[in-house]
Amino acid sequence: MKVEVTELEGLYRELAVEVPQNRFQEELDKELEQLRLRVTLKGFRKGKAPMNMIKSNYGESVKSDVIDKLIKATYPEAISSQTLKVASPPQVTDLKIKDDGSFSYKAKVEVFPDIKKVVFDGIKLTTTDTEASDAEVDEFIETLRDRRAEMREVDRAATADDVVVLDMTKVKDPKLAVEQTDFPETTVDLSHSLTLKEFKEQIPGMKAGEEKDIAVKYADDYSDSRLAGTEITYKARLKSVKEKILPEVDDAFAKAAAEAETVLELRLKIREEIKRQKEESQNRSFKTQIITQMNEKNPVPVPESMIENYLHSVIEDLTRQKAEFKEDEIRKMYRVMGEQTIRWQLLYHQLAEQEKIEVLPSDTEKVIGRMTRQYKITGEQAKEAMLRSNRADDIRESLLEEKVLDLISGRAKKKPEKK
Amino acid sequence: MSHDSRQLIYSHIATERTTDLRTKNNEYVFRVAKKANKHVIKKAVENAFKVKVVNVRTLVVPGKTRRVGRHPEGKTVSWKKAFVRLKDGEVISIFET
């Protein structure tokens, strides 16, 4: 078998493969003999038909089958004989069959880029302060208090700190944004930060039983896209006013809210939690910073077919979610991202090899440990769950990525964020 | 009677038995016109395939009764089969397997 490789544009390579006659003949004879034993021709019992009749009846189709088979068989041989790292399925063209049975074909494939050395010095990371301030702890406690507040119905005009129950009817909706017209028994917390400002401004002062038309103008970037930019007028009848009674911050509160013995312990717990969240978000931001900078420092080419695969899976996801989209736009939008993601994958694998980073059993143990704490299961169960979900490879991958990220961020220059 | 082989010899019969006869006795089996006799068959085969025939045996395969559902019985056509033995060493290559 003769194989010749031509480098084409980018990462494309063309393999010209020649398969010799004897190989073809061997395969053809084998195939015909098998067929002979299988088929029933008229006048002959199964497997008793003479070879010539088999040949004249099935010869051509067997021939093309054999060629198909040989292409499939010789292609991997060709690849391994040339030590190519192939990133895409081959496109076979130029199939030429000579009279003596030898044939040649060309296969166009894409290879992984040959990354000589991954550069990762001089990465600059912007750090943020991960310590929790007293103000943040206070704020957290306030939300806890708010969540555990008791409601008590009162007979007075509503104030900005109250919770009100409204019977609402839609009276004007020029764009017909909502189908529903009646909203009975709607509870509105006037002190909540997400409550619409029209309610916050107009309801205080009303008493139970009173009615008012409230025109609400939804912002153009309102989270519910059906409502964004519309103006709807509601007739609101105040049913009841409820006073929010916030619990005192004492040890009992600490125990109920966070299973802490004392208020001090509660504050400590909250501080830890906030810190953990901040660190997590910092790690995430490190990761994006590293990926962007590594992409800039190592502009290796990315196989087109891998980007294509990426875009394909994005589009498939969107289709599954039944989202409306234009394929061209999505392709354009996600192209850069896909290229970066794939380049990063290539880079961190190469870097792991370069720096001899491997996922060790102890790393896997760590993940299992994390799982046992998070889901409150035993190590055995965690292992089993991992095997069952077929995600062991994924986990290994992400561990490797994590280790590479650790290495890079360990050697990066860190600078606090400018405020 | 015409000796045109295309009108007399209809087809070669390829079955396990005829394959055997050919390899053992150098006999080829044909479906032939019913009106053809041994003499004309011999001449027709010699003309058509350029071989030397030493013996011809013939027989008429009787038609078989066939019924379709409740319709009255009919018959399939009867036809003549000819065993043509060639001189040793002669072959008709297109039927060779």
Other residues' Cβ atoms within 10 Å of the Cβ of residue A266: 24
pLDDT at B61: 94
**Residue B13 contacts A where some CB pair is shorter than 8 Å:** yes
Quick check: A187 and A236 in contact, CB under 8 A?
Answer: no
Which residues of chain B are within 8 Å of residue A36 when distances are taken between CB atoms? none
User: Within this chain, do residues A9 and A84 fall inside the same structural domain, yes or no?
Assistant: yes
pLDDT at A418: 64
Backbone angles phi, psi at A186, to 5 degrees: -85, 125
Contact at CB, A48 and B96, closer than 8 angstroms: no
Is the complex ipTM more than 0.90?
no
Which residues of chain B are within 8 Å of residue A44 when distances are taken between CB atoms? 15-16
* pLDDT winner (highest mean) among A137-141, B36-40, B69-73: B36-40
Contact at CB, B96 and A52, closer than 8 angstroms: yes
Q: Is the residue at B70 inside a domain?
A: yes
| Residue whose tokens read 């002979």 | A36
pLDDT at A266: 82
- Shortest distance between the Cα of A36 and any Cα of chain B, in A, equals 13
What type of residue sits at position A80? S
Q: Is the residue at B66 inside a domain?
A: yes
Backbone angles phi, psi at A372, to 5 degrees: -60, -40
Query: Average pLDDT for consecutive 10-residue bins of chain A (419 residues)?
Result: 75 81 85 88 86 84 84 82 77 77 80 77 78 81 80 79 81 73 79 77 79 79 73 81 80 76 82 87 86 81 83 84 76 83 83 78 77 75 73 77 80 72
Residue A60 domain boundaries: 2-110
Tens of pLDDT, residues A329-371: 878 888 888 888 888 888 888 888 777 777 777 777 777 777 7
Q: Is the residue at B97 inside a domain?
A: no
Q: What is the domain count for chain B?
A: 1
pLDDT at B3: 60
Q: Is the residue at A129 inside a domain?
A: no
**Boundary residue ending a domain (A61, A82, A110):** A110
Contact at CB, B19 and A50, closer than 8 angstroms: yes
Contact at CB, A43 and B13, closer than 8 angstroms: yes
Nearest C-alpha neighbor of A222 from the set A213, A233, A231: A231
Q: Is the residue at B12 inside a domain?
A: yes
Quick check: A165 and A190 in contact, CB under 8 A?
Answer: no
Beta bridge partners of A37: none
Which residues of chain A are within 8 Å of residue B18 when distances are taken between CB atoms? 43
Residue B46 domain boundaries: 5-92
Nearest chain A residue to B23 by CA: give it: A50
pLDDT at A318: 82
Q: Is the residue at A253 inside a domain?
A: no
Q: What is the domain count for chain A?
A: 3
The secondary structure of A347-365 as a DSSP string is HHHHHHHHTT----HHHHH
**Residue B92 contacts A where some CB pair is shorter than 8 Å:** no
Q: Is the residue at B60 inside a domain?
A: yes
pLDDT at B83: 95
User: Within this chain, do residues A303 and A202 fall inside the same structural domain, yes or no?
Assistant: no
pLDDT at B55: 94
Considering only CB atoms, B97 lies closest to which of A42, A45, A53, namely A53
User: Within this chain, do residues A301 and A398 fall inside the same structural domain, yes or no?
Assistant: yes
Q: Is the residue at A257 inside a domain?
A: no
Contact at CB, A53 and B15, closer than 8 angstroms: no
- Shortest distance between the Cα of B17 and any Cα of chain A, in A, equals 8
Distances A306 to A110, A112, B34, B77 between C-alpha atoms, Å: 9, 10, 72, 68
We report the CATH number of the domain holding residue B21 as 3.30.70.330
* Residue B34 confidence class, pLDDT cut points 50, 70, 90: very high
Backbone angles phi, psi at A236, to 5 degrees: -110, 130
- Shortest distance between the Cα of B96 and any Cα of chain A, in A, equals 8
Chain A residues 21-80 within an 8 A CB cutoff of chain B: 42-45, 48, 50-53
pLDDT at B33: 93
We report the CATH number of the domain holding residue A42 as 3.30.70.1050
% of chain B with per-residue pLDDT over 90: 54
Quick check: A190 and A164 in contact, CB under 8 A?
Answer: yes
- Measured CA to CA, the distance from residue A329 to residue A136 in angstroms comes to 41
* Residue B57 confidence class, pLDDT cut points 50, 70, 90: very high
Kindly report the average pLDDT of chain A as a whole number: 80
User: Within this chain, do residues A312 and A403 fall inside the same structural domain, yes or no?
Assistant: yes
Q: Is the residue at B79 inside a domain?
A: yes
User: Higher model confidence: residue B1 or residue A362?
Assistant: A362
We report the CATH number of the domain holding residue A324 as 1.10.3120.10
Region B16-44: mean pLDDT is 92
Top residue of B11, B12, B17, B19 to mutate, by most chain A CBs within 10 Å, is B19
Between A and B, how many CB-CB pairs are < 8 A?
17
Q: Is the residue at A378 inside a domain?
A: yes
**Residue B91 contacts A where some CB pair is shorter than 8 Å:** no
